[in-house]
Structure 1
């Protein structure tokens, strides 16, 4: 991608932050569990869940964008095929 759009930059940054948030939240949750300090464990789990939700959101957007790209490619291929068939029919005089 030579010239990334602002949307794609936001999605890449958002997914990266979500992944790091899940890792940090899991680490804090584990630390809280091992040290038996409840509020640290609960906040770590909360951060991990928030990171997971953000990650799911950005993955769904990526899946939707990829599905739209596949559909656009299929439409382009269908139009190209129809144009070739028409050109061959015109060439044959049908």
Structure 2
């Protein structure tokens, strides 16, 4: 997977996190227990995917920085 695909996935994961949180909030306001559970699950899944791809991006950027600093 190239860097642009990973950036796109991270962007989508961020939006999924917000969607899940919004769904949980709206469901809580209308007292829908299943909606709250689904919203929380979607939010957590989005958060985990976002975290994973951001961590990969950080590792790539650190490796590039290390290469620049050592001149290799």
**Normalized against structure 1, the TM-score is what?**
0.73
Aligned length: 72
Task: Name 1:90's counterpart in structure 2.
Answer: none
In the TM superposition, what is the alpha-carbon distance from 1:74 to its structure 2 partner? Answer: 1.1
Task: Name 1:83's counterpart in structure 2.
Answer: none
**Larger-Rg structure:** 1
Task: Name 2:37's counterpart in structure 1.
Answer: 42
Q: Where does structure 1 lack aligned partners over 5 or more consecutive residues?
A: 1-5, 80-94
Equivalent position to 2:10, from 3, 8, 15: 15
Does 1 or 2 have the higher relative contact order (CA < 8 Å, sep 6+)?
2
**Normalized against structure 2, the TM-score is what?**
0.93
Q: Where does structure 2 lack aligned partners over 5 or more consecutive residues?
A: none
Are positions 1:69 and 2:64 aligned together? yes
Task: Name 1:89's counterpart in structure 2.
Answer: none
Q: Name the Cα RMSD after superposition.
A: 1.2
Deviation beyond 6 Å, 4+ runs, structure 1: none
